[in-house]
Structures are given as structure tokens and as C-alpha cells.
Amino acid sequence: MPKDEFAKLTDEELVAHCIKHKRRYQEALYRRYADDLYAVALIYCKSDQDAADVLQESFIKIFKNLERFKFQAALKSWMRRILVNTALDHYRKRKREKAHSENYQQQQELKVDDILSRINAAELLELLNQLPKKAGMVLKLYAIEGYAHKEIAEQMQISEGTSKSQLSRARSLLKELLAKLQGDV
């Protein structure tokens, strides 16, 4: 059937063929409603990528449940409800993942704090000296000497952004070294 013929089909006809798993008709149904549903997904999602993911998940659910749809309401309304519920599920899942990630991060920080309470200054200095030179120097100037990133940048002849990224790198590497010292890694 030519593509423009799909446009002449009613929703009922399209659904009947989709239920029989005819790919061309499923594509036609997708093309008929994807733009409208994507616009709805953008309302509920923070990014284009999240909206695209929600749209894809929604169409999987739509095709899986088409046999249950009895045309008691408009097909577009039914599909929209599925999309909104999928967007809400997506939001809840992201919220749980974020909470889990934050909880894990807090646990890791507590482990590092616990390790730091059992390590003496000489051992800590030895660990600091194991860091790459630039990262170690930035960490020492920032954490021990109290310099601001602007001052560190001037002293080391680097940009403030480099100072910040080297501090982040040093902290991350130090956490790894502390974890190895504790035997967690």
C-alpha cells in the first residue's frame, strides 16, 4: 500500500492491522501520532533525550496493549494517557536513581572520613605526595594553605578552570588512594 494510502485509513483500520503485527501499519500509526506525543513528552521531561526515551517507551506500551483498546475514547487520548503515565514513571525512576546515587556518595564520604580519622599526618602527607604533581600541588595550596583558585592560578601560571579541575581530580584520586589503604578497592 502506498504511504499516502495510510493517511486515508481510520484509526480503527490502522489498529486492526497493528494488532496483527504488520510493521508497515505500526509505522504508519507511529508517524501519525509521534509528533503530537513527543510535544507532550517535552512538557514532562527535562531534556530532548528524556522526551525521546519516554516516547519510545510509550510506543512499546501502546503496541503491546493495542488489543485492549476498545475505542471507547479517542485513540489519541488513550495514547496520550499512556505517554503521561510513562513520563511520570520515568520521573519517579530518575528520582529514585538520584536518591540512591546521593546515598551512595554519602556512604563513600563517610568511609573516607572514617579512614581519615584513623590515619596520621605523615601517612596523609605520603598519600598526597603520591598524587600527580599539578593535582597534588593545587590540593595542598587550596586545602592546606587556604588559597583561592584565582591565587593558585596566578602562582602556578594556570587558568582558574584548570585549578578547579585539578582540585577535583586530586580529591577523586585521594579518595581512591584512601580506599586502597583501607582495603575497600
Residue range 150-180, pLDDT digits in tens: 999 988 899 999 999 999 998 888 888 888 8
**pLDDT-wise least confident of 19-28, 61-70, 103-112, 117-126:** 103-112
Shared domain for 125 and 65, answered yes or no, is: no
Shared domain for 88 and 13, answered yes or no, is: yes
Overall domain count for the chain:
2
Residue 91 lies in a domain: yes
pLDDT given at position 23: 94
Shared domain for 42 and 126, answered yes or no, is: no
Shared domain for 83 and 11, answered yes or no, is: yes
Shared domain for 50 and 128, answered yes or no, is: no
Distances, alpha carbon 41 to alpha carbons 6, 85, 111, 125, in Å: 25, 10, 40, 52
Shared domain for 48 and 80, answered yes or no, is: yes
Shared domain for 79 and 46, answered yes or no, is: yes
Residue 156 lies in a domain: yes
pLDDT given at position 161: 93
Residue 105 lies in a domain: no
Residue 167 CA neighbour count, 13 Å, CB half: 21
DSSP H helical ranges for the chain: 3-8, 11-19, 23-44, 48-65, 75-117, 121-130, 133-139, 149-156, 160-182
State the Cα–Cα distance between residues 160 and 151, nearest whole angstrom: 9
Select from 59, 57, 55 the least CA-distant residue to 38. Answer: 55
Residue 106 lies in a domain: no
Q: Phi, psi at residue 14, to the nearest 5°?
A: -60, -45
Domain residues for 166? 119-182
Q: What CATH number did the domain enclosing 69 receive?
A: 1.10.1740.10
Residue 161 lies in a domain: yes
Indicate if the pLDDT at residue 71 is higher than 80. yes
Shared domain for 20 and 72, answered yes or no, is: yes
Shared domain for 133 and 87, answered yes or no, is: no
Residue range 129-146, pLDDT digits in tens: 888 988 888 888 888 788
Signed CA dihedral, 40, 45, 51, 56: sign only: negative
Signed CA dihedral, 10, 15, 20, 23: sign only: positive
Domain boundary among 63, 97, 131: 97
Q: Other C-beta atoms within 10 Å of 59: how many?
A: 20
Shared domain for 83 and 7, answered yes or no, is: yes
Residue 113 lies in a domain: no
Q: What CATH number did the domain enclosing 164 receive?
A: 1.10.10.10
Q: Other C-beta atoms within 10 Å of 83: how many?
A: 25
Shared domain for 83 and 137, answered yes or no, is: no
Question: Would you place residue 185 in the very low, low, confident or very high pLDDT band (cuts 50, 70, 90)?
Answer: very low
